[in-house]
Amino acid sequence: MRMRVKSADSIIAVIFIGAAAVGLLYLRETMQRRIVPEGPGALMAGDADGLRELHALYSSPKICGDVTFQKSTDFTMVRKLCNRVVPIAPGTVQKGLVWLPGGTRAVSLRTAYILTGGYFAAPSYSPATMNEMVKDGAVKVEYVRISEPNHNVKGWVVAGYLQCECGPFP
């Protein structure tokens, strides 16, 4: 009798651990799903030229990371200089870049920061604040695999141009 109770407890424990592992894998995959919001779309870098272009388009001037500058200057000027929106026009798509239309779905594989010249920051780089990131000239990007409409195309997209999609893919 004692032997059966231990055996049943072991089976229940294994089932519980297995279910928890499957749940964590599902949650991990769900949290990695991204979608390009409707609107102008996003640019994806496929090579070193594309990474240099992304950095040139999306990095803020280093002065924008200076808190003193932000407080002492006209708010409108700071906003225009530091919070600029990059319009995606046909001339924006240069060598090494691919335009992703709104509604494009992807899976995020990893996150990194690109620095001046399109070089990656060290894997341990993690800015404490947005101001520190701007002073360093870093741009946060995600390496993604497109899942819809084209499967298995991979590249780098500026992180702010992707949204988490927590629901299942159609």
Q: Write the single-letter amino acid at 150.
A: N
pTM equals 0.69
Reading the chain (170 residues) residue by residue, the pLDDT tens digits are 455 556 767 766 666 666 555 554 444 454 588 888 888 888 899 898 989 988 888 887 777 777 777 676 676 766 666 766 666 766 667 788 888 888 888 999 999 999 888 888 888 888 888 778 888 888 899 999 988 877 778 999 988 888 888 655 44
Q: Tell me the domain boundaries of the chain.
A: 37-164
Residues 122, 124, 126, 132: is their CA dihedral positive or negative?
negative
111 has which bridge partners?
Answer: 142
Q: Are 114 and 168 in contact (CB under 8 A)?
A: no
Q: Is 22 exposed, middle or buried, given 0-12, 13-18 or 19+ CB atoms closer than 10 A?
A: exposed
Cα(84)–Cα(141) distance, integer angstroms:
17
